Amino acid sequence: MRKKSNQTTKTSTNQVKSRETLQLQMKKLRENMKKIDHKVAVISGKGGVGKSTVTVNLAMAFALHGYANSVGILDADITGPCIPKMLALKDRQIQSTSEGLYPVVGPLGIRVVSMGFLLPSDETPVIWRGPLKMSAIRQFLSDIAWGELKFLLIDLPPGTGDEPLSIMQLIPEMDGVVIVTIPSEVSQVVVKKAVTFSRKLKMPIFGIIENMSGFICPECGKKINIFKTGGGEKIAQELNTPFLGKIPIDPEICSDSDSGKPFIMNHPDSPSSKAFMEIVQKIETSLKKKAEVKR
């Protein structure tokens, strides 16, 4: 019999080691996820429709709704992380202690993990292919001590690519996804893809949110439907998916995001903030119903 070369032996030892590391990581990931009651991902077919804005405001809405210090956000947009800026946490870092890595803690005790905390500057691009992105997400879920949480909201980049797929595969027990769209017809085409993607992966859909839905002119009080209106509701009906609500365009949403103030806390009485609170209640009702069915 021919002897194995040193190189071959080294390669197979490395393969065994990396398999063991992966198994250990997946074990830690499952243990971590068991401590989080509900995981909700925010997805869309298109970019710029307000996923990150919705994630931040839904997370804050949950915190305001009785779950302060019990909500987390995983910014799973590896190449375009923006949650740290939206919560004025840009200069903070993930804490490394002898007991582990800890999320950055923001307003109302919200625990945040983002690639943004690991990059040396805003201009540093992350130029990674799929497997590296998946590995980063796996580490965020396994190596970070998230602790006990009621809700973990996961902000994803647009579309149905590497990050959403990784998240769905790594957290198969996810409670469901929230799909964000704007009312225009162009956006409706891609919403269908997001719905089909979730259904193919057997991910429950909480429903569709129509963001940027109409604008009330501050000068004359007239409603102007910049991106049309009702498209989200229409597509929800067409696809037999719940409709969660409409968030109007509000220039303060944009300026609050830019200055890192959670809009829902800064403008609690605005129609958009009320819409966010109603959506959170709908998600909670849907979770309660599911729990009753399981019993």
- Which residues here bind ligand ADP, judged by CB under 6 A? 44, 47-53, 82, 211-212, 247, 249-250, 253-254, 257, 272
114 belongs to the binding site for Mg ion (CB under 5 A): no
Q: Which is nearer to ligand ADP, 58 or 253 (CB)?
A: 253
Q: How far is CA 257 from CA 182, 274, 289, in A?
A: 18, 17, 33
52 belongs to the binding site for Mg ion (CB under 5 A): yes
Q: Which is nearer to ligand ADP, 49 or 174 (CB)?
A: 49
Shortest Cβ distance from residue 88 to Mg ion (Å)? Answer: 17
- Length in residues, the chain: 295
Q: Which is nearer to ligand ADP, 49 or 236 (CB)?
A: 49
Q: Which is nearer to Mg ion, 29 or 247 (CB)?
A: 247
Binding-site size for Mg ion (CB under 5 A) equals 2
Shortest Cβ distance from residue 230 to ligand ADP (Å)? Answer: 16
Shortest Cβ distance from residue 75 to Mg ion (Å)? Answer: 8
Shortest Cβ distance from residue 82 to Mg ion (Å)? Answer: 6
Shortest Cβ distance from residue 87 to ligand ADP (Å)? Answer: 12
38 belongs to the binding site for Mg ion (CB under 5 A): no
Q: Which is nearer to ligand ADP, 211 or 229 (CB)?
A: 211
Residue that the structure tokens 């709704």 belong to: 65
257 belongs to the binding site for Mg ion (CB under 5 A): no
* Cα 289 to the center of its chain, rounded Å: 23
198 binds, among ligand ADP, Mg ion, none (CB under 5 to 8 A by kind): none
Closest to 102 measured CA to CA, from 173, 32, 54:
32
Q: Which is nearer to ligand ADP, 32 or 53 (CB)?
A: 53
Shortest Cβ distance from residue 86 to ligand ADP (Å)? Answer: 8
- CA dist 267 and 252 (Å) reads 8
Instruction: List contacts with Mg ion (CB under 5 A).
Output: 51-52
